[in-house]
Structure 1
Amino acid sequence: MADSWLRNAIAEAVGTLSVVFVTVATLGIAGQATPTVLAYGFVVMGMVAALGHVSGGHFNPAITLAMLLAKKIDALGAGIYWAAQLAGAALGAVLVAVVAGDDAVAVATPAVNEELINVGGAIALEAIATMFLVLVVFGTVLDERSPLSIYPFAIGGAVVAGSASLLALTGGALNPARGFGPAVVSGEWDDIATWLAGPLVGAVLAWALYHFVIAERQRNRRRKRYPDPVPPPGPSLLP
């Protein structure tokens, strides 16, 4: 049991490190939107494909929260995953600082563009984009009707779409670890509410929508198609 948790924690740390390193390095060095969002999506896609069979391939505390609510992981496991993800994120940002300098990490720390949007709007946008991402995870990973072979591509595509739509407004984190790692190095904590609260709220919204609406409708359809058999009559209790 301990060995499996250690293996899962290492997989989550390595996956999150890769996501943060690639994304922060691309934005901090290239400084262009298109390469950044593509790098973000492709590294998520690759790491989910490579390590998803080990730990589930969360690499995102918001996804772990959603899986906790869906009872696919227990509280202890979620805590281990969160610790591994944050440690991996911090190490990924440190590696970028070693390679490209602290300024590159500071540039890549998610920040609200206050000329275009306020903090409340930024949190809402991060929540909505993360909700879409988590719905993709639920629909491709948890839904038995979906072929598992597509889920890395679907999740990577959702990351590209969400990040592209928000990069100029909020930094397009969609992942608390994506903000935490560079913030540790740069010391830029002003917009922590955006990249922390937004994705976590989005995860809760996605779980509620999937559990109470989408999955419930699927259960109702199955009940109509395959009704429970009527139990055979038992012995009479009357004399």
Structure 2
Amino acid sequence: MSALGQRLAEFLGTLLLVISVECSTAAFGSPLFGGLAVAGMLFVAMQSWGRVSGGNFNPALTLALGCVQSMGGQGMDWAQVRSYVQLQLAAGIVGAFLTSQVFGIVMPIGDLLEHGLWALGVCEFLGTFMLCFVALNVCVGNRAEEYSALAVGLSLLAGFYSVGHVSGGIFNPAVALGMDLSSWRANYVGLSAYYMLFQFPAALCAALLFAKVRPELFTDAPREGPSLFSQLLGEFVGSFLVVLTAVGASQAGAAVAPLSVAAAVASLAFALQKVSGGHFNPAVSCALYLAGHSRQLLSYAVAQLGGAWLGALTATAIFHRPRSFGPRWPFGLQEAVVAEAIVGFLICFVVLAVKSRAEASQFSGLAYGFCMLAGFGICR
């Protein structure tokens, strides 16, 4: 594919993403409820143009790919990074013009300041980190995988519904710039620079952690498989992000919590299934260990519980509104235990079923995520 074709695809994909964010935000009254539309647009754009330009559509992800190549991985050279970032930011500016001047949309980005700048920045950091981390794991070295676009779209969906009520769930400097310029009538121009102060460092952290989780992609030396350190690190990070998503989504409202958690589990399972198996749950690790599909149990459980503990602490620091834990009225402890046992059995059974196949399905992560969605229907 020619360089012109790559740049045109990247510009158009980013432009459509920016327009989708701004229009869906205005239509639903909040960036939170535009999450499904925006994640769908990202999936469609990556599926359509991913094999042409790489399907970045995000300056933060482009920066992460530049860092990956600098560390010896299969990323992007800095000349291409500079070109892509310029095009993506230009698409954000054009998108802002179209939505504000043609459609008359003024973004309510200033309304997000009620949560405080610190919470806004941390949420953008975490959401951008998750998106870039998932994208690097499913795209770098795995260009032929059919689930790449789906995994990245689901990671964006999880972020939108978990922290969108705090930061807007942007996770993209080009989108931040577009929303910033679209809100000029409300005198909020300049806030995108603050967003970028958290989004770009998040991309760097994602690239560094990716190098630790997938070291085999940064060397030509043959490896038998992922090291125990990489597996435990993957389980720790995955559990951290799943718990953080669950707590954040519960703060946003019961309606979006099931979809958010399911999207987080599915996207992270896609990202880490070739590293640790993508368990993120001591019960799942125990079932796989007893069935002979995993050699690790105690170490996995420690990593998962450690990640969950850190995720809970982080969520508490951000939201300051702890939710009660336990049975919900009018149900008692007995009903809650039975419901949890049913859902736990469902999750473990499905994971064992997809792991027991002679040829693992590429969409096993989606099956795991849908188990979480079904579980919410039973337990809530």
- TM-score between both structures, scaled by the size of structure 1: 0.81
Answer whether contact 1:24 1:182 (CA < 8 A) is retained: yes
Distance in 2 of aligned mates of 1:150 and 1:130? 20
Which residue of structure 2 aligns with residue 165 of structure 1? 162
Q: Tell me, yes or no, if structure 1 residue 7 matches structure 2 residue 17.
A: no
Q: Which residue type is aligned with residue 178 of structure 1?
A: V
Distance in 2 of aligned mates of 1:50 and 1:121? 35
| Higher alpha-carbon deviation: 14-23 or 85-94 | 85-94
1:175-190 → structure 2 map (5 Å cutoff):
175-187=172-184, 188-190=188-190
Can you list the C-alpha shifts for 1:86-140, whole angstroms capped at 9, x where unaligned? 1111112222224431xx2322x4x473433x32332222111111111111111
Distance in 1 of aligned mates of 2:158 and 2:145? 21
Which residue of structure 2 aligns with residue 123 of structure 1? 121
Which residue of structure 2 aligns with residue 202 of structure 1? 202
Distance in 1 of aligned mates of 2:130 and 2:167? 16
Q: Which consecutive unaligned segments of at least 5 residues does structure 1 have?
A: 226-239
Tell me the C-alpha RMSD between the 2 structures: 2.4
Q: Tell me, yes or no, if structure 1 residue 149 matches structure 2 residue 149.
A: no
Can you list the C-alpha shifts for 1:166-212, whole angstroms capped at 9, x where unaligned? 2211111100011101322333334224421211111011111111x
Distance in 2 of aligned mates of 1:112 and 1:201? 24
Matched position secondary structure for 1:168: helix
Matched position secondary structure for 1:189: coil
Match of 2:77 among 69, 74, 77: 74
Q: Which consecutive unaligned segments of at least 5 residues does structure 2 have?
A: 70-74, 226-380
Answer whether contact 1:13 1:89 (CA < 8 A) is retained: no
Which residue of structure 2 aligns with residue 86 of structure 1? 89
Distance in 1 of aligned mates of 2:144 and 2:85? 27
Between the two structures, name the one with larger relative contact order (CA 8 Å, sep ≥ 6): 1
Q: Which residue type is aligned with residue 150 of structure 2?
A: F
Distance in 2 of aligned mates of 1:88 and 1:184? 12
Answer whether contact 1:140 1:147 (CA < 8 A) is retained: no
Distance in 2 of aligned mates of 1:205 and 1:136? 12
Deviation at 1:219, TM superposition (A): 7.7
Which residue of structure 1 aligns with residue 22 of structure 2? 24
Answer whether contact 2:36 2:157 (CA < 8 A) is retained: yes
Q: Tell me, yes or no, if structure 1 residue 191 matches structure 2 residue 191.
A: yes
Deviation at 1:143, TM superposition (A): 4.1
| Higher alpha-carbon deviation: 72-81 or 45-54 | 72-81
Label 1:128 to 1:27 Cα distance change in 2 as closer, same or farther (>3 A): same
Label 1:219 to 1:67 Cα distance change in 2 as closer, same or farther (>3 A): closer
Q: Tell me, yes or no, if structure 1 residue 105 matches structure 2 residue 106.
A: yes
- TM-score between both structures, scaled by the size of structure 2: 0.53
Label 1:217 to 1:95 Cα distance change in 2 as closer, same or farther (>3 A): same
Distance in 2 of aligned mates of 1:153 and 1:177? 21
Distance in 2 of aligned mates of 1:79 and 1:174? 19
- Total equivalences in the alignment: 216
Matched position secondary structure for 2:79: helix
Label 1:224 to 1:8 Cα distance change in 2 as closer, same or farther (>3 A): closer
Distance in 1 of aligned mates of 2:204 and 2:119? 18
Which residue of structure 2 aligns with residue 44 of structure 1? 42
Distance in 2 of aligned mates of 1:175 and 1:76? 20
Q: Which residue type is aligned with residue 195 of structure 1?
A: Y
Q: Percent identity?
A: 26
Label 1:37 to 1:18 Cα distance change in 2 as closer, same or farther (>3 A): same
